[in-house]
Amino acid sequence: MAVTQRRGRRIMMTESERHAYLAGQRTCRVATVSSDGRPHVGALWYAWDGTSLWLYSITRSLRWSQLRTDPRIAVIVDDGVEYGELRGVELRGRAVPVGEAPRTGGPCAELDVPECLFAEKYFGLDTMPHDGRHAWLRLTPESVTSWDFRKLGAVP
């Protein structure tokens, strides 16, 4: 077991690697759970502000209704095809709705940064377009796990 833990520490991303990775990737997988314990996983676009992961979710989704009942959430951002290329970050915590739901663009200072990041990243715009169907969820992680199997080449 100790060998696995040592190897696990060796393939962990540093804080700056995690930050760059989360800022650069586009899609995450979000896991929620229903009140009777049934899991649900779905893909979403997101914004990373260096502290929190911001999810722009349809308010009439199963995800949204499950999070109203149980705000616990796990999110994976990963990539790679071959074993030696696999890397990713898992974030766990509680999803907190921020701003109006659904979002129509009313003033909300807390959303200024994530909306700017999201609009630029996905739409190439300076301001966030709103469709009246989505709203923001903030995940400030309580735990973070990362891996970068590209580092295995340096492991004897």
What is the tens place of the pLDDT at every residue in 52-109?
999 999 999 999 999 999 999 999 999 999 988 999 999 999 999 999 999 999 999 9
Identify residue 40 by its one-letter amino acid code: H
- Has residue 120 got a pLDDT over 90? yes
Structural domains of the chain in order of their starting residue, each with its CATH number:
2-154 (2.30.110.10)
Residue 57 near residue 63 (C-beta atoms within 8 A): yes
The mean pLDDT of 131-142, rounded to a whole number, is: 96
Can you read off the two tokens belonging to residue 14?
A: 């540093």
Among left, alpha and beta (phi > 0; psi -120 to 50; other), residue 50 is left
Decide which of 144 and 156 is more confident: 144
| pLDDT at res. 155 | 46
